[in-house]
Amino acid sequence: MKLTRRLFGVVSGAALAMGTVPFAAQVAQAQESSTLVIAVPSDPAGLEPGINKAEPIGSEIILNVFDTLVAWQAPDFAELEGRLATEWSVSEDGMTFDFTLRDGVVFHDGTPFNAEAVKFSIERTVEMNPYVEASLGLIESIETPSETEVVFTLSRPYPAFLSILAQPQSAIVSPTAVGELGDDFATNPVGTGPFKFRAYQADTRVVLDANADYYRGAPKLERLIYTIIPEASTRRLELENGGVDIIQQAGQLSAVPSEEMAAFAENDDIQILESPSQIIRQLEFNNSLTDGPFTDVRVRRAIAMAIDYDGLLSGVFDGTAERVYGPLTSNSWAFDPEVMDLAPSYDPEAAKALLAEAGVDPSDLTVKLYSFQGSLWGAVATFVQANLADIGVNVEIAQTEFPSYRALHVAGEWEMALDGRQPWYNDPDAHVTIGYLSALKNSAMTFRMPENAELDAKILEAQGEADMEKRKTLYGEIQKEIVEQVPGAYLFSPKLIVFARSNVEGLVVNSAPPLNEYWSVSKN
C-alpha cells in the first residue's frame, strides 16, 4: 500500500514540478525578436529548383534561398524588376532575350555568380524537370558572351518567358555546390538569396539563416523558421499563444477561413493581411457536347444569370473572396474592364425568361454538378444548387475524390462541373491558353472549348506577341469573345490571407503566384 502511495506521490509531484515552470522562461534566452516562425501545413515537396513543380511551400522557400534573374515588383506585381539581372532587352521578333547581370554577387558557398551559373542552372532545370517542357523547353540556346551577359534564344516567340524566369524553377544555383554535393544538393540548397539554408528536419521544420552579404542588404531577421503544423486548430492555437508568428493560408484553399477570421479580428495581438489573388473558381459547362440543353448559349447564360454572385461572396465567403467576371482576374495586367458589363449578372427573372425563349422547361432539366471534395467546394455547390432551384432547375451534387474527378473531367463525362485554376506564373497565358485553346481541351481540366479557328488563332497569337501593348489588346478581345460565349459562370477569386502576430512588419503578400519574400520583414 505504501509503495503505491509513494509511486503516486512521485508521479504527481513530478508532473506538478514540471507544470509550474513557465514555458516562456524556457526560451527567454533565444533571439525571439530576430527569429520569425512561419507555420505551414505540410513539408515542402523539395528545396531543389531543378525539380520544382510549383508546389507552394517548397517554391516559397526556394525564392528566399535563391535569386532569379527578374522578379515581379511589389505591391502591384504588374511590372518586372531586376534581381540578378540589372537590365534586359527583348529582340523585336520576341525570340532573343539579352540580360546584363549584376556584378560582384557571391553564392552562399563563396563562389562568384556569373553568366556561366545562369546557363548552368537553366539548362539543368530543362534537363531535370518535365514540368517546364512547354516553357523553358522553348530555349534553343544560351550564350554567355561575357561574365556579366547572358543571351537566351527561343525556338518561337514566347513573351511569358520573362515571367517564367521569375519562378523558382529558374532560380540560379551554385554550379560548384551542385558539382560537389551531387544528389545531396536537393537537401543542401546553395543560392545567392537573402537567407542561407541551415537545416531541414522532415515533418518538423526548415531553418534558414540570414545572408549578411546579400546584395540588396542583409535581411532584418537573423533566422527564418518554417515549422510544419498539419492540423488547422493547432496552427490557430500556436498563433494565439505566440508560438508562431505567421500562418499562411496559401495552399490551404479547400476550407473557408472565416471562423478564424472572426476570432482573429477581435484579437489585438494578431493582424490579418489580405491580397487579391489570380486564382479563379468557376462553374464550367462541358462546351464540347454536341447535344443537350447546354449547347444553346441562351441556356448557359440563363444558368449564369441564376447565380447570386454577391450573395456567394458575403454568405459563403464572408469577405474572403472577390468577384471574377471573365477568364482573368481584375488584378491581372491584361484584364479588360469591359468584360464587367458583358458578364452575366444575377437576375433570376431574366434567367427564367431566357430558358423559356430557348424552349427549355426547367422542370425537365435535371443536371449533375460535379465538384472536388472538401467543405469549401461543398458549400459552393450547395449555394449554386439553391440558386438554380429558384429558377426551377434541379441540380444533383456529386463531390468526387480528386484523382477520380480529374479522370472523369478530362474524359468529358459531365455537363456541369466546379473547377478552378491557380496560375503558377504571372501571365494571362497561364489562364487563357490552357483553359480555352480547343486543341488542349482533352489535355487537362479545361472548359473543353469546341474548335473555333478564329479564337484559337487569336489565343496563339496573343501567347507569342512580343509587343506588350498589342498583346494586351489581343487579350482584351479574347476575354470579351469568351465571356459572350458563356463557357461557364465565373464564381469567385479567393483572397490570399496571411495571419500574423501584430509585431510582424514589412510583409508584402505576393499575389502571382502567392510566394512571399521575407527579406524585408522584421519583428518588433
Q: How many CB atoms lie within 10 A of CB 54?
A: 18
| Residue 253 or 388 with smaller CB distance to another protein | 253
| Residue 1 or 453 with smaller CB distance to another protein | 1
The C-alpha cell that represents 265 in the structure block: 479580428
If you ran DSSP here, which 8-state letter would residue 156 be given? Answer: S
Closest contact distance (angstroms) between CB of 472 and another protein is 24
Query: For residues 261 and 495, is the Cβ–Cβ distance under 8 A?
Result: no
Closest contact distance (angstroms) between CB of 336 and another protein is 23
Closest contact distance (angstroms) between CB of 198 and another protein is 8
Closest contact distance (angstroms) between CB of 3 and another protein is 7
Distances (CA, A) of 240 to 246, 257, 266: 10, 15, 12
The residues that bridge with 283 in the sheet, in sequence order, are: 418, 489
Q: 154 exposed, middle or buried (CB, 10 Å; 0-12, 13-18, 19+)?
A: buried
Cα dihedral sign, 399-401-403-407: negative
CA 277 – CA 330 distance, rounded (Å): 9
Angle of helix 429-436 relative to helix 468-485, nearest 10 degrees? 40
| Residue 24 or 389 with smaller CB distance to another protein | 24
Closest contact distance (angstroms) between CB of 404 and another protein is 5
- Residues whose CB is less than 8 angstroms from the CB of residue 364 and which lie 6 or more positions away in sequence, other chains included: none
Instruction: Give yes or no for a cis peptide into 403 (omega within 30° of 0).
Output: no
Closest contact distance (angstroms) between CB of 102 and another protein is 32
| Residue 150 or 324 with smaller CB distance to another protein | 324
| Residue 28 or 469 with smaller CB distance to another protein | 28
Q: Give the residue from 352, 350, 300 showing the smallest Cα distance to 483.
A: 300
| Residue 192 or 332 with smaller CB distance to another protein | 332
| Residue 104 or 403 with smaller CB distance to another protein | 403
Closest contact distance (angstroms) between CB of 54 and another protein is 8
| Residue 74 or 228 with smaller CB distance to another protein | 228
| Residue 360 or 498 with smaller CB distance to another protein | 498
CA 329 – CA 275 distance, rounded (Å): 13
Closest contact distance (angstroms) between CB of 181 and another protein is 14
Apex 76 CA angle, 72 and 79, nearest 5: 40
User: What is the three-class DSSP state of 199?
Assistant: strand
Angle of helix 375-390 relative to helix 297-306, nearest 10 degrees? 110
CA 207 – CA 94 distance, rounded (Å): 41
Closest contact distance (angstroms) between CB of 285 and another protein is 18
- Residues whose CB is less than 8 angstroms from the CB of residue 52 and which lie 6 or more positions away in sequence, other chains included: 45, 46, 58, 59, 62, 129, 131, 167, 168, 169
| Residue 210 or 229 with smaller CB distance to another protein | 229
Closest contact distance (angstroms) between CB of 443 and another protein is 5
